[in-house]
Structure 1
Amino acid sequence: MHVVKPLLLFIFYLLSIVVSAQHIEMLHSGTGISLRGLSVVNDKVVWASGSNGTIGRSVDSGKTWKWMQVKGFEKTDFRDIEAFDAATAVIMGIAEPAYILKTNNGGNTWKVVLEDKRKGMFLDAMEFWNEQSGIVIGDPLAGKIFIARTFDGGDTWQGLPEQNYPVARPGEAMFAASGTNIRALSKKEACFVTGGTVSRLFIRNKTIDLPLIQGRETTGANAIAVYNNKKRKPAKYMVVVGGDFAADSIAAQNCAVSKDGGNTWTNPVTPPKGYRSCVEFVAKKKLVSCGTTGVDVSEDGGMNWKFISKEGFHVCRKAKNGKTVFLAGKDGRVAKLVW
């Protein structure tokens, strides 16, 4: 009896570790749609967007979903979405023509708020500081990165003056992989990352080379996460992920961490397990990252990553007003991170 009791306690302890370990809880799959846009308003309201003009919305923490196809945009790939509540959202259609649409009635109807038919136009990601002020970036046109702003909740958009567009190097662009290669840096500023022949961080008029794999059109940074971007001063803690999506099992130079606002970077001791298209802060030292080969988490600020799922996802986002983290990916997959 003296032996059995400690043994039972030890077994119970092991089981509690297994139960509490980070894992992925699948909520939806099997539609054949590729989902790359994801916006989590709070712990209950979640929006997703993807291929074939598809939009999804849940108001019960992902338990049930309303799936819709935007009329007239059945062939459009909506790779980013920003939602403000259960009724209001803005979606981004990537290319030729590039579109931004907005709904105020839960997706029942959509209004075109930006249309650009220029050859080569390709939108990559949106970011909003608040419900009124937002920004969208697109691949270079004539060597200059496209940027447009909105100050009325996405109802109208204005491109920057031509002379203020950032200059790209030959073969440099962004990836429309998860809508997270641009992030708010403070209440007024944003930063974004590029890939391709070179991979850089852009902050105002400053550019910083990133220590990620680069040199080919499939390489470089895909996403950046910024911690504590609600303060007036620009945030200092940043993590970027990427790699080579044409060789997605390779982990070399697929992640970097900065603690000084992007001026200097360090590669992790234990990197994520392969190419990653998205990274998100869950708390100051806790992060989640996902890609085509699976999901990783870090509990030390991105210096060491633990592989928790081989299920591939394109995007992971934490609730703007809450704690829940959702993921979305190919074949209509939507899941929740249990930490």
Structure 2
Amino acid sequence: MRVLVGIVVVFLTIGCTGEKKEKGFKIHDFQGVDMEVLYKDSVSIRTLEILNDGSVAFAGSNGKYGLYDPRTEQWNTNTIVGDTVNPSFRATAHTATDFFMLSIGNPALLYKTGDDARMKLVYAEENKAVFYDAMKFWNSQEGIAMGDPIDDCISVLITRNGGKNWSKIPCEGLPQIKEGEAAFAASNTNIATVGDKTWIITGGKSSRVYYSPDKGKSWNVYDTPISQGTSTQGGYSIDFYDEKTGVVIGGDYTHPEANASNKMITEDGGKTWRLLAKNSDPGYKSCVQFVPESGGHELVAVGFTGISYSKDKGEHWKQLSAEGFYTLRFLNDSIAYAAGNGRIVKLNFSDSQ
């Protein structure tokens, strides 16, 4: 691979542990959302990172990646150029010092920020079945990436030295997959972490939740009631507010109106799951996130079908916008960034229309 001159990215005091700490919370009643388009280009963007200084980093199709500085309102973008085809990225992560991006398809290519400000290739994997879906860091040294199964288990990569080296967990250290079980590279939200605890959602003919209490050293897996049974069904996105409360959303992107069993919640750390808003909208969504400082009550979900909001842990929902996005991340309890086909947008949620 040939890498163009990289982006100089300064990551100062960036938190990445996945812990959500608060002394109190406020429940909103969002009635609308205002949108400010920050970036437009012919690139599909399914993953972005918000840094503690407010900067936004992304990686997308055709090797494109970039950094937005809200203070100057300027973008710095670049491209990783392949020998025959540019890689497409759907997974990103960051630590206090580095930005990471992981490509889909064969070969899988994982890049990190290098000492010379270029993106450095730190892991590569060739296999006709290789396809990575998401990645995340527990802290500045330890991170995880997950992907579709090869052999009898899902693919899980681990780093323990800040992303300099990555190793793949052998199938002996992971639960055996079920027939047709895979995952969706839809929004880089297949992985949720709180402290040392980790949850992974799979999808397809079987959609289950994998759980590790110790940063990927040991694993259990739990069945779920979410819609599954075909290659396009199942959970697409998972988020945890704390060690007990988590949600999953998904459905079937080929039948986006289906809403009977595409949303579920756990309140015991992922061991058991209960369906939410059965036979009620929203239907298919590719990403769900808890609203920060909401006590785990508020949720926002996005997909190409629009933006939906719940203030009661997913029991009831309202559509705030028909504008479609693939993924979003919250900056605070009322501002988020969303990405989709050809654009990144700043979302301002309001309690009044």
**TM-score interval, smaller chain:** 0.7 to 0.9
Other structure's SS at 1:52 match: helix
> Is the 8 Å Cα contact of residues 46 and 62 (structure 1) preserved in structure 2?
no
Instruction: Give per-residue Cα distances to partners, 1:51-107, cap 9 Å, x unaligned.
Output: 00111211217943222212338621110111346x7300010110001101147x9
Q: Give the structure-1-normalised TM-score.
A: 0.85
The letter of the residue matching 2:264 is: A
Matched, 1:50 2:64: no
CA distance in 1, matches of 2:167, 2:241: 28
Which segment is superposed worse, 196-205 or 213-222?
Answer: 196-205
Aligned pair in 2 of structure 1 residues 155, 293: CA closer, same or farther (>3 Å)?
same
1:29-178 to 2 correspondences below 5 Å: 29-42=39-52, 44-60=54-70, 63-72=73-82, 75-84=86-95, 88-104=98-114, 109-178=118-187
CA distance in 1, matches of 2:273, 2:237: 15
CA distance in 1, matches of 2:333, 2:319: 24
Matched, 1:201 2:209: yes
Matched, 1:224 2:238: yes
Instruction: Give per-residue Cα distances to partners, 1:285-323, cap 9 Å, x unaligned.
Output: 11111111111111112221111111111111124x887
1:236 to 239, 244, 252: 244
Instruction: Give per-residue Cα distances to partners, 1:100-152, cap 9 Å, x unaligned.
Output: 101147x9511001100122111111011112110011111112111110112
Matched, 1:266 2:265: no
CA distance in 1, matches of 2:285, 2:71: 25
Q: Which has the higher helix share?
A: 1
User: What is the deviation of 1:161?
Assistant: 3.3
CA distance in 2, matches of 1:132, 1:324: 29
Max radius of gyration: which structure? 1
The letter of the residue matching 1:98 is: A
Which segment is superposed worse, 158-167 or 58-67?
Answer: 58-67
CA distance in 2, matches of 1:322, 1:58: 20
Residue 215 (structure 2) aligns with: none
> Is the 8 Å Cα contact of residues 221 and 241 (structure 1) preserved in structure 2?
yes
What percent of counterpart residues are identical? 34
CA distance in 1, matches of 2:34, 2:72: 13
Which segment is superposed worse, 53-62 or 89-98?
Answer: 53-62
Structure 2, unaligned runs of 5 or more: 1-29, 213-218
Residue 324 (structure 2) aligns with: 312
Structure 1, unaligned runs of 5 or more: 1-19, 229-234
The letter of the residue matching 1:82 is: A
Which segment is superposed worse, 34-43 or 45-54?
Answer: 34-43
CA distance in 2, matches of 1:90, 1:294: 28
Q: Which has the higher strand share?
A: 2
Q: Which runs of 4+ in 1 moved over 4 A?
A: none
Other structure's SS at 1:247 match: coil
The letter of the residue matching 2:339 is: A
> Is the 8 Å Cα contact of residues 113 and 155 (structure 1) preserved in structure 2?
yes
The letter of the residue matching 1:76 is: P
Which segment is superposed worse, 130-139 or 52-61?
Answer: 52-61
Give the root-mean-square deviation of aligned CA atoms: 2.4
